Amino acid sequence: MSQIQARFFTEDKRYVVDDVPFSIPAASEVQDLSNVINKLLEAKNASHSKVDFDFLVRGQFLRTSLSTHMATEGISTEEVVEIEYVERITAPEPEECMMHDDWISSVDADAEWILTGSYDKTARIWSTEGKPAMTVAGHTDVVKDVAWVKREGLTSLLLTASLDQTVLLWEWNSERNKVKARHCCRGHAGSVDTISVDPTGTKVRLERARQKLKRQQRTPLMTLSGHSEAVSSVLWCDSEEVCSASWDHTIRIWDVDTGGMKTTLTGSKVFNCISYSPLCRRLASGSTDRHIRLWDPRTKDGSLVLLSLTSHTGWVTAVKWAPSHAHQLVSGSLDNLVKLWDTRSCKAPLYDLAAHEDKVFCVDWTESGLMLSGGADNKLYTYRYSAQQAEA
């Protein structure tokens, strides 16, 4: 039993091969299969240059030899195996390292600017090239979370949340490089740990470290109460739904129109962070037991873990879905590592980014192909990744 009948297919129009079964050695690994595809493509197209491919067997990345993979997955070797191949994601390349004065608590990046919140009570604005543009100082305590609200031309609105129980709304003109505090949002009786801006950019949802969530413009529009402990993360799923993760081991999804709770997802450990991907409609949560769990927010039973991604050795403090890829997410952890995951390969991460020398507190993506991570070593690292696949 050394040969397996396999049929290769891809959704990438550039690399299509004939839809015929091939007989390939069962012991062949990714590199062997990649060579096979390259040979086929060269036969078809003389100008083809060598490309590395990754292979998916029934939606799972091939990481071992084909026979081993099929044995563990329980796939019959009698039939023709359908193997999908995609261009391999190249390793993210470190680009810039932005030094801060103190620990970096949060990062939010859009296509042009990067906003970071730091433990030195300031927020900073950087260009994507790593040049410091502005330092936003005004809080009397540690800035725990930052967010861009919206950008109109050269004027941007940004939010900073701090341990001093306030959220400040700033207006920043990038040309004149002036920042002006527009509003101070009060209403929390404890530190404000996380904020989130709804997709349309008009409403802000704040969260505080204690049992209530507040949704604010200037004064709180609505308080969402239900969590029994600190809320660690909030986000807008879409314009009607807010999702919050808490230390009381639950993720709750709220209806913003009524202010009522729609779903509760119950885990067994403290949730540190959540992220929602509109592409695959999944919630990813990072918790203190070192696992990243994927949830389906639409289930009604509320406690279904679709998948657990386990490789970190410390608390997962940050998790973020790729903005343009349905399967990729990045996670940061207290074990100083940032990991890039593909949900189709749940056994091991695609890449470990071991640039940080201390705890990682925040990660982010931009649609322009940048990954960012910041942590307790006062450094914000940016990585360039191959963002060419947007086939989903």
Nearer to other proteins among residue 222 and residue 230 (C-beta) = 230
Q: Does residue 361 interact with other proteins by CB under 8 A?
A: yes
Give CA–CA dist 376/100, Å, rounded. Answer: 10
User: CB–CB of 233/244 below 8 Å?
Assistant: yes
Amino acid of residue 74: G
Q: Does residue 166 interact with other proteins by CB under 8 A?
A: no
**Residue given tokens 């590395």 in the structure block:** 52
Give CA–CA dist 319/333, Å, rounded. Answer: 9
Bridge partners, residue 293, by sequence = 285, 308
Q: Which of 157, 270, 362, 370 is in the footprint of other proteins by CB under 8 A?
A: 270
Q: Does residue 305 interact with other proteins by CB under 8 A?
A: no
Q: Which of 35, 288, 368, 389 is in the footprint of other proteins by CB under 8 A?
A: 288
Q: Which of 10, 156, 174, 191 is in the footprint of other proteins by CB under 8 A?
A: 191
Stretch that binds other proteins, among 251-259, 265-273, 323-331, 377-385 (CB under 8 A): 265-273
Give CA–CA dist 103/135, Å, rounded. Answer: 15
Give CA–CA dist 344/231, Å, rounded. Answer: 30
Q: Closest Cα to residue 342, out of 302, 383, 311?
A: 311
Q: Does residue 231 interact with other proteins by CB under 8 A?
A: no
Q: Which of 210, 212, 282, 325 is in the footprint of other proteins by CB under 8 A?
A: 210
Bridge partners, residue 286, by sequence = 273, 292
First to last CA, the chain: 37
| Residue environment code for 47-79, b if the CB has 16+ CB neighbours within 10 A, otherwise e | eeeeeebbbbbeebbbeebbbebbeeeebeeee
Bridge partners, residue 183, by sequence = 169
Q: Does residue 315 interact with other proteins by CB under 8 A?
A: yes
Q: Which of 33, 371, 376, 380 is in the footprint of other proteins by CB under 8 A?
A: 376
Site string for other proteins, 129-148 (x = CB under 8 A): -------------x------
Smallest gap, in angstroms, from Cβ of residue 241 to other proteins?
26
Nearer to other proteins among residue 35 and residue 310 (C-beta) = 310
**Could you tell me how many residues of this chain bind other proteins (CB under 8 A)?**
27
Smallest gap, in angstroms, from Cβ of residue 290 to other proteins?
8
Give CA–CA dist 125/323, Å, rounded. Answer: 21
Tell which positions 50-79 bind other proteins, by CB under 8 A. Answer: none
* Binding residues for other proteins (CB under 8 A): 103, 105, 119, 142, 163, 190-191, 209-210, 228-230, 232, 247-248, 268-270, 272, 288-289, 314-315, 334, 359, 361, 376
